[in-house]
Amino acid sequence: AEHQHARYNPLRDDWVLVSAHRVKRPWQGQLEKPPPEDVPRWDPNNPLCPGATRANGEVNPQYEGTFVFPNDFPALQPDAPEPGDSDHPLFQAAAARGVCKVMCFHPWSDLTLPLMSLAEIRAVIDTWAELAAELGASYPWVQIFENKGAMMGCSNPHPHCQVWASSFLPNEAHLEDRTQRQHLTQHGVPMLLEYAEQEARRKERLVVENTDWLVVVPYWATWPYQTLLLPRRHVCRLQDLCKGERDSLASIMQRLLIKYDNLFEVSFPYSMGWHGAPMGPYLEEDCRHWQLHAHYYPPLLRSATVRKFMVGYEMLAQAQRDLTPEQAAERLRSLPEVHYKRRAK
């Protein structure tokens, strides 16, 4: 807790430097602008709102729940041509095809997931699972991810996420496939199933838990308040969750995200995403080494205006963090589960 040391991340096969004493250093660096508190519930100029016109001229329906549509500026397209042959091994290119969708969580722009009802969060989870199954029938990788807050590159305050399906396994998926496969071969149990059982027993990095799920600040966390959301049973893909597990997932997501917002009493920025077993041609293969999980990567370190920067040593050497995962978990764990905006004045 007081001295620097390195921790191994078996999921990524790399190391993080933990330097807990550095959080005490005075800060004279950049201060971030807190997120706006006056987001209008409906804005005809917001392209994600019901009834609004998007950049391509399409008019959104007057949706009342979740709403999914093709990304108007997709990073992947299904009909991209093959790149030309390489004339040297240092200059390689490969085909990259896919589809990109945007998914609105709710018709109101002034809501975020922690302020939505359990039924509304459950509807988000069901739509995630439907998209994973639909796109996964054709594509090997379906990446569901949410960038929340301008600090994480989100250009629109409306509650939404993105879903990108690709014809290839991206780097992180390829890496996690390898490490989880190796762990199952060597130890006879899926890595993250064993890890969840260990963390549930040790409890020192536990943030919230229920019958089906637990959230921990992982032992190898890189970001200050990074968390890992894990099921207690062995499940490979999001669409494999039963009704009860989807209900309890809605509950634990709400509890976690309320704690995040309560930490600095601000709409907490983060990037999050689901990782599960590959699909497409992999549906016919043995993927028992995979365990479904979600990563949450929030940037805030000391306050709503001081963030963690991944620069210098992190970019040129290895990841480094300024407080221990145990300290971060204890702080999150101790926070109330009533949102600060809804407490009695």
What distance in Å separates the CA atoms of residue 79 and residue 69, rounded to the nearest whole number? 18
Whole-angstrom CA distances from 139 to 90, 169, 239 are: 28, 9, 15
Which pLDDT score is estimated for 151?
80
Residues near 343 by beta carbon (within 8 Å), at least 6 away in sequence:
336
The list of the chain residues with pLDDT below 50 reads none
Beta sheet of 141-148, edge-to-edge order: 67-70, 98-104, 160-166, 141-148, 270-275, 293-297, 227-231, 213-216, 206-209
* Matching residue, tokens 């290119």: 93
Cβ neighbours, 10 Å, residue 219: 22
CB 157 within 8 A of CB 104: no
DSSP 200-231: HHH-TTEEEE-SSEEEE--TT--STT-EEEEE
Which pLDDT score is estimated for 103?
98
Beta bridge partners of residue 69, listed in sequence order: 102
Mean pLDDT over each residue of the chain, to the nearest integer? 94
pTM of the model: 0.95
Whole-angstrom CA distances from 345 to 237, 324, 340, 341, 342 are: 42, 34, 10, 9, 9
Tens-digit pLDDT profile for residues 285-314: 999 999 999 999 999 998 888 888 889 999
242, two tokens = 């039963």
| Residues in the annotated binding site | 22-25, 55, 71-72, 147, 153-155, 162, 176, 275, 293, 295, 308-309, 313-314, 320
> DSSP E strands: which ranges in 108-255?
141-148, 160-166, 206-209, 213-216, 227-231
| DSSP-assigned letter for residue 233 | S
The number of C-alpha atoms within 13 Å of 231 and in the hemisphere containing its C-beta is 24
Residues near 303 by beta carbon (within 8 Å), at least 6 away in sequence:
264
Write out the catalytic residue numbers: 160
Angle made by CA atoms 6, 193, 240, in degrees to the nearest 5: 130
Tens-digit pLDDT profile for residues 157-176: 899 999 999 999 999 999 99
| Residues in the annotated binding site for UDP-alpha-D-glucose | 22-25, 55, 71-72, 147, 153-155, 162, 308-309, 313-314, 320
Whole-angstrom CA distances from 89 to 85, 86, 174 are: 10, 7, 21
